[in-house]
Chain A
Amino acid sequence: MNQAIRNTWMAVMLMFLLALGALSYVQFFAAGDLNDNALNRRPLYKEFDLPRGAILADGKPIAESVPTTEGQFDYQRVYNDPELYAHLTGFYSLTFGSRQLESAMNKELTGQSDDQWLDRIKNLFSGQATQGASVETTIDPRLQKVAYDLIPNGVQGTIIVSEPKTGNILAMVSKPSYDTNLMAVQSSKRANENMNKLLDVPGLNINVNPAVGHLIPPGSTFKIFDIVAGLESGKYNADTVMKNPARIKLPGSTATLGNFYGGNCAAKTEATLAWIVANSCNTPFVSMSQDLGAEAFRKVTTNFGFGQQLNIPVKVTPSVFPAELTGSQLAQSVIGQFDVKVTPLQMNMAAMGIANGGVIMEPNLVKQVMAPDLRVLSTTKPKVLGTATSPEIAAQVTDLMRGPVQYGTARSAAIPGLDIAAKTGTSQIGNTDLVNSWITGFAPADDPQVAVTIVMEKIDFKTGSSLTSPNLKKILEAVFNQ
């Protein structure tokens, strides 16, 4: 009997060993995977109890965590001037997760980035909570405000101002905007109520920053790529005289495509490329597309960044130039219609590339990351994204883009004494009367300081044009009269 009791003890020990083994497995070996599991909300809760770093614009916090005694967490995320920066900062929500910079810079903001490992080790021994680093953006609050106010309430639009020589983005605004604080509330019930309200706002999608996430047909701003393709082929230059019929038959089809009815194109049936660009005539580019073939345009758009997934550090939706094109589809594509779709940032990169002598600098929103003690952890250095074209061709394109402002479609952007290069665009939306109104350009043309892109979506033509060229002028005045 005693032997049986001893055997029972052995069985009991085996059970306890199994239990200890299972605990060791869960708490030690599998702990990492469990902590990373998508169903696990504890890491998020932990984050909410720690001081998260601030997001700054010109040293002032636009998103910061302040200590709170209300709610279940020690800190509350607060957005200052939330509508102005909503699409940039995104939000940090217990219920809906995080978006935009809050999401893209989460490691830095929570203090988990590689640059902060030494601080984390120190905190481990001192018992202090890990403080997140602050993220200083490249945004110029003054320009941001000017740009934001230029989009009327109720209009869906985006304005981007950037530095072609560095790729730094100085302003990036979109309307409709929203109060990001509504998403940062701790109660999930209230967060859901707020979310439902925001879902009702027409044209607003809180998950997307339109500047980097909306794909829109570029209309005639696409002609910048046409010009590059034409000049690169060696068959065209500014003085090349081209036929400019009012309508042209689309290749392989009975349909025709005409010049825009409101413009000056009807004045000349034959004109130089310079005049055609200035007045944004369509039919000569249809001929050019047949002459050069789809590959020429695909190469140029690829060089300018189409199809490329960028992180600036927020994710940028790649712009699209369709893969397979019939002659007729190519003809519509080269005037920025059919299935050609771009983000506002892509057209801003086009302007930056031309302005910077053919070299596109990587667009960037983050200037530097600073530790809680203000020590700079990392600084973003300007990076070359790629060479879009040669300096010679860039210079010729710049010259051609002066035309619209001097005597063409962008005359209302002209500022006496300032050398401006720009290209307008209007893309039709299906069979509706609504259009997307574009302008993208830079100034001063001989020494570009800023590239500006404006797009007003789903708007009637007249209102659209009144919000693009005149607003380009106002932004450039704000930049150069400071």
Chain B
Amino acid sequence: MSELQTPPVPRRNMELLLLLLALFVSLAAYYLVGLNTDVGFDQDFLVQGGILAGLALMVHVSLRIWAKYADPVILPSVVALNGIGLAMIHRIDISKGSTVAFRQLLWTGVAIVVAIVVLWAIRDHRTLGKFTYIALLVSVVLLLLPMVPGLGHEVYGARIWIKIGSMTFQPGEIAKITLAIFFAGYLSSNRDLILMAGRKIGPLQLPRARDLAPMIVAWLVSIGVLVMQRDLGSSILLFGLFLVIIYVATGRISWIVIGMVFVTVGGIFAYQTMAHVTRRIDGWLNAFDPNVYYAKYGSAQIVEGLFGLANGGLLGTGLGNGRPGDVPLANSDMIIASLGEELGLIGLSAIVLLYVILVSRGLRAALGARDTFGKLLATGLSFTLALQCFVVIGGVTRLIPLTGLTTPFMAAGGSSLLANWIIVALLLMISHNARRPIAVNPSATGEVATAAPGKNRLRKGAKA
């Protein structure tokens, strides 16, 4: 069991190479859209392509300065996803006559700049551990913002936006990160107490109530707020985040079992008491029933998405040659269906594999992190990305009921883009701390007994 398989070399040149590949893929996608929709090689292409490339290279340079041992695969994967997403949104714009792509590019810029600021300002993720309770406070404020009269803004029955002027923002997206910081910070500092104290009932080792109470209360409040705001997707996401962090912290599978029981009970309760949940489940189970299909808020969205995916088939119609615009919310909630239609199963699988790489790299950073806080935070954030992908793809393919969650980095929506780029910055930071040579920063050693990379390198060397 080697803890550190990557030798501590910066690998920034490798990153640059992969980044150029990612940019090439993104721009090629953008260009194909223009080619197939007779818009052609216009000035927008150069400007927007140039902006994306410039922003991506800015992150790359920042990493060279502040986190040169960061994982070299994370950034290119994210840029490729963001770039392909931009191309797809641009493509939907063409069919609908909308101008969402420009706004998305603007938000990409904002998100990347914020990510760079995060890298510059924080440097070492352990700094965040000091802000455990501030993170909790910020989370609660962010979650409550949409409930403030005059500020909150309701869309499709969900009150999860705030509106300032003509700008809307989903503070809950950021709250996921601050909550992850709180969970990770609280559990890393109280881990021993939780593990040691407490009673054993049957196979379950229960912690003392007072050790875990702040966690559970914070988590219940968050979920409660999201339920009141009718944000089903974020509730699920938060639930997953909570479970995975507590599981990794305690190493006890029983938490997952308890969590699943809660999900089942909560799900049944929600189905029976909340009209919008009932509608979603019915639309999922009886999607092809014409009565459900034609009903208001019926299954038309999911069924049209399935038709789009089927139209794409194995090879796809080609970018610009399908009819993704026929699906409601084609550039946001249903962007997976849009991509599936025009890129086919093969193209979409490639995109899913990019997520697999990204999430695996995030978890790799968690594995390599030398501190509990870093491990928990990286795991929580990576898992959040994976869960989002699963809930979105599962929803679009009718594997599970459809919930309004965004596809990370691809779906139109500024808040999600910003939040996910911050997550990337944090993962890059944690991976840098995990991968940098111990000798460079002696203060990083000794914190966690399990992370003794020097020993492992020795063992590896001995084998070779």
Q: Which residues of A contact B (CB under 8 A)?
A: 1-6, 8-9, 12-13, 15-16, 18-20, 22-28, 30-32, 34-35, 37, 39-42, 45-46
Contact = CB atoms under 8 A, between A and B. Distances in A.
Contacts of A34: 306-307, 309-310
A18 B390 contact: yes
Interface string B386-397: 110110011001
B310 A31 contact: yes
A101 to B, nearest CB: 27
A30 B390 contact: no
B343 to A, nearest CB: 10
A239 to B, nearest CB: 65
A4 B247 contact: yes
Residue of A23, A32, A37 with most chain B CB atoms under a 10 A cut-off: A23
A17 to B, nearest CB: 9
A2 B349 CA distance: 29
Contact of B323 (A2, A27, A42): A42
Given A4-B251, A26-B309, A12 B382 contact: yes
A15 B387 contact: yes
B248 A22 contact: no
Contacts of B383: 8, 12
B345 A27 contact: yes
Contacts of A25: 397
A2 B371 CA distance: 11
Given A8-B383, A16-B352, A19-B352, A1 B249 contact: yes
A9 to B, nearest CB: 5
In the complex, the 7 A-B pairs of residues with the closest C-beta atoms, listed nearest first: A34-B310, A22-B397, A19-B393, A27-B345, A15-B390, A31-B310, A22-B399
Interface residues of B, number: 50
A121 to B, nearest CB: 15
B372 A8 contact: no
Given A8-B363, A26-B306, A28-B345, 19 more contacts: A1-B249, A1-B450, A2-B450, A3-B251, A5-B248, A6-B367, A12-B359, A15-B387, A15-B390, A16-B390, A18-B394, A19-B390, A27-B312, A28-B313, A31-B309, A31-B314, A39-B303, A40-B307, A42-B308
Given A16-B356, A27-B344, A8 B314 contact: no
24 contacts: A1-B450, A2-B367, A9-B360, A9-B363, A12-B386, A15-B387, A15-B390, A16-B359, A18-B399, A22-B394, A26-B340, A26-B398, A27-B312, A27-B340, A27-B344, A28-B313, A31-B309, A34-B307, A37-B288, A39-B288, A39-B303, A40-B310, A42-B308, A45-B326
B114 to A, nearest CB: 26
Interface in B349-397: 349, 352, 355-356, 359-360, 363, 366-367, 372, 375, 379, 382-383, 386-387, 389-390, 393-394, 397
A399 B309 CA distance: 67
B3 interface: yes
A46 B310 CA distance: 13
Contact of B313 (A31, A37, A45): A31
Contacts of B355: 16
A334 B389 CA distance: 74
B400 to A, nearest CB: 9
B307 A42 contact: yes
Residue of B288, B309, B314, B387 with most chain A CB atoms under a 10 A cut-off: B309
A25 to B, nearest CB: 7
A78 to B, nearest CB: 23
B363 A5 contact: yes
A30 B386 contact: no
A23 B349 contact: yes
B311 interface: yes
A4 B348 contact: no
Interface string B272-285: 00000000000000
Given A22-B397, A23-B340, A39-B290, A5 B306 contact: no
Contacts of B310: 26-27, 30-32, 34-35, 40
Contacts of A31: 309-311, 313-314
A19 B3 contact: no
A462 B293 CA distance: 55
B162 to A, nearest CB: 31
Contacts of B387: 15
Contact of A24 (B248, B345, B450): B345
B244 interface: yes
A82 B360 CA distance: 64
B348 A23 contact: yes
A76 B383 CA distance: 51
Nearest to B390: A15
A19 B405 CA distance: 15
Contacts of B397: 19, 22-23, 25-26
A8 B399 CA distance: 21
A317 to B, nearest CB: 28
Contact of A28 (B244, B314, B382, B450): B314
Nearest to B256: A11
Given A20-B352, A23-B348, A39 B247 contact: no
B58 to A, nearest CB: 30
A4 B248 contact: yes
A124 to B, nearest CB: 10
Given A15-B386, A15-B387, A1 B307 contact: no
Residue of B307, B308, B348 with most chain A CB atoms under a 10 A cut-off: B307
B64 to A, nearest CB: 28
B411 to A, nearest CB: 16
Contacts of B303: 39
Interface string B230-254: 0000000000000010011101000
Residue of A19, A35, A42 with most chain B CB atoms under a 10 A cut-off: A19
B348 A27 contact: yes
Nearest to A21: B399
Contact of A39 (B244, B293, B340): B293
Contacts of B382: 12
Contacts of B323: 42, 45
